[in-house]
Amino acid sequence: MSAMTTQLDGIQCIDELEIENRRVFIRVDFNVPFDKKTGEITDADRIQRAIPTIAHALERGARVILGSHRGRPKGTAVDSLSLEPCAAKLSELGGWEVFLPDDCLSDAAVKVIGELRAGQLCLLENLRFHPGEESNDEGFARDLSDLFDVYVNDAFGAAHRAHASVSALPKLIPERGMGFLLRDELKSLARLLEQPQKPFVAVLGGAKVSDKIGVIERLIVKSDALCIGGAMANTFAAATGREMAESLLQADGLPLARTLIEKARDAGTKLLLPSDFVVADSADANSGTVAVGGLTSGSMALDIGPKTVESFSAEIAAAKTVFWNGPMGLFENPAFAAGSTGIAHALAETEAFSVVGGGDSAAAVRAAGDNLASQLDFISTGGGAALELIEGKQLPGVEALRTTPRPIDPAEQLPE
């Protein structure tokens, strides 16, 4: 039995917990992207997707206390990182009145929580305003635990962090479990790794190879074909002796890329690298498409070319399971978005079970428009957490929810 088969074992879901009239803490991930200039939320997906769990709790007559982090305030109150805009957005999307006391442990917070009636909710202010959150402090967790009776985690995006509100805190609350979003995240990712329907095709891109070595290694073993695009492909192309000129690549990652190419060969996993690129002389000038090896001095590869999109799409069309992480190019600039848009279309069209993980990849799917996002099977709300699960790591925020321990491997047991 693999680690993935036990992913949901021993974890209760919110619909199995006694929550009526009780104070229920729901750890959500409202750490959404903001426009630096206007200060407005640019993508409220994470808030939207926490709504089913919150609505369920309210309908069941719970007294709901939401907690989240936002940004990196480093343990002090930073006005610009308040959850106030998130409270407003939640109120707008859910149609609820959302109380937001000024500090998660203040007298005001205690008073607001004390006065909550069944079916009402409040959002605690940014948990990272306290240093104890990121240091997973037991005392901070204890103070929080005094505020409620039942703990629910629905923050997949934070589940890979051993922080107080996702790790130390749930262990103090006997009645704990997961929300619907966390359940769906774990189920979707388990379906990729636990006997995926074959052929299983993985598409990887993004900026760096070194960030994703663990993921690439695991996918070499698990998948039938691995398509590599983005700046990551530049490193692979350079490792096979191709001229990449001024392209963004990881010069110290060439030996690693060569090792990964060998590992794929040994495992019999098909490794597809770009056969053409969209290139430019500077990041804002699209000067056309060249075949791999055709880059001239001063130019850089900023997207995969149309032939590559075609060959990756053919793999995706023939697949039964697809996972995509990492944009195929500098998609933030529309001149270099065609590669990522092409892959998003291929994922929308394939019959395969399709999952996207990674903040930028999810943004690329949404930027591709045409309602493509709704045609994929699952878009993960957690980039880092999804990649760690794929690497085979245990997530502190998931492990802390188990009320029945996972079976212990005798080899793991320490002597008394």
Q: Which residues are catalytic?
A: 46, 208, 359, 384
361 binds ligand ADP (CB under 6 A): yes
Side chain identity, residue 253: G
253 binds ligand ADP (CB under 6 A): no
C-beta of 206: minimal distance to ligand ADP in Å?
2
Could you give the angle at which helices 359-367 and 383-391 cross, rounded to 10 degrees? 120
Q: In the set 360, 381, 382, 402, which binds ligand ADP (CB under 6 A)? A: 360
Q: In the set 170, 358, 382, 397, which binds ligand ADP (CB under 6 A)? A: 358
User: Using CB under 5 A, which of the segments 175-183, 189-197, 279-287, 353-361 binds Mg ion?
Assistant: 353-361
- With CB atoms as reference, the residue minimizing the distance to Mg ion is 360
231 binds Mg ion (CB under 5 A): no
Q: CA–CA separation, 239 vs 234, rounded Å?
A: 8
Q: In the set 44, 83, 169, 330, which binds ligand ADP (CB under 6 A)? A: 330
C-beta of 383: minimal distance to Mg ion in Å?
6
User: Using CB under 6 A, which of the segments 101-109, 216-224, 256-264, 354-362 binds ligand ADP?
Assistant: 354-362
Torsion-angle region of 271 (φ positive above 0: left; ψ -120 to 50: alpha; else: beta): beta
User: Using CB under 5 A, which of the segments 20-28, 85-93, 277-285, 357-365 binds Mg ion?
Assistant: 357-365
User: Using CB under 6 A, which of the segments 89-97, 323-331, 365-373, 400-408 binds ligand ADP?
Assistant: 323-331
C-beta of 370: minimal distance to ligand ADP in Å?
20
C-beta of 363: minimal distance to ligand ADP in Å?
8
Q: Which token pair is 222? A: 């698990």
Alpha helices in 297-370 (DSSP H): 306-318, 338-349, 359-367
Q: Select 274 or 397, whichever has its Cβ closest to ligand ADP.
A: 274
**Whether the Cβ atoms of residue 81 and residue 148 lie closer than 8 Å to each other:** no
Taking CB within 5 to 8 Å according to partner kind, which of Mg ion, ligand ADP, none is near residue 330? ligand ADP
C-beta of 30: minimal distance to ligand ADP in Å?
19
**Whether the Cβ atoms of residue 204 and residue 233 lie closer than 8 Å to each other:** no
Taking CB within 5 to 8 Å according to partner kind, which of ligand ADP, Mg ion, none is near residue 353? none
Q: Select 248 or 290, whichever has its Cβ closest to Mg ion.
A: 248
C-beta of 334: minimal distance to ligand ADP in Å?
12
User: Using CB under 6 A, which of the segments 134-142, 150-158, 179-187, 204-212 binds ligand ADP?
Assistant: 204-212
Taking CB within 5 to 8 Å according to partner kind, which of Mg ion, ligand ADP, none is near residue 302? ligand ADP
Q: Which token pair is 160? A: 């890979």
Q: Select 51 or 231, whichever has its Cβ closest to Mg ion.
A: 231
305 binds ligand ADP (CB under 6 A): no
Alpha helices in 166-227 (DSSP H): 168-171, 180-193, 213-222
* Dihedral sign from CA coordinates of 218, 184, 14, 45: positive
Q: Select 64 or 207, whichever has its Cβ closest to ligand ADP.
A: 207
C-beta of 277: minimal distance to ligand ADP in Å?
8
Q: In the set 340, 360, 362, 388, which binds Mg ion (CB under 5 A)? A: 360
Cα distance from N-terminal residue to C-terminal residue, the chain: 27
Beta bridge mates, 402: none
**Whether the Cβ atoms of residue 42 and residue 34 lie closer than 8 Å to each other:** yes
C-beta of 393: minimal distance to ligand ADP in Å?
16
Q: Select 206 or 397, whichever has its Cβ closest to ligand ADP.
A: 206
Alpha helices in 129-196 (DSSP H): 131-134, 138-145, 168-171, 180-193
Burial 58-86 (b: 16+ CB within 10 A, else e): bebebbbbbbbbbeebeeeeeeebbbbbb
Considering only residues 380 through 409, tell me which ones interact with ligand ADP, judged by CB under 6 A: 383
Q: Return residues touching ligand ADP (CB under 6 A).
A: 205-207, 230-231, 234, 248, 301-302, 325-327, 329-332, 358-361, 383
Q: Return residues touching Mg ion (CB under 5 A).
A: 359-360
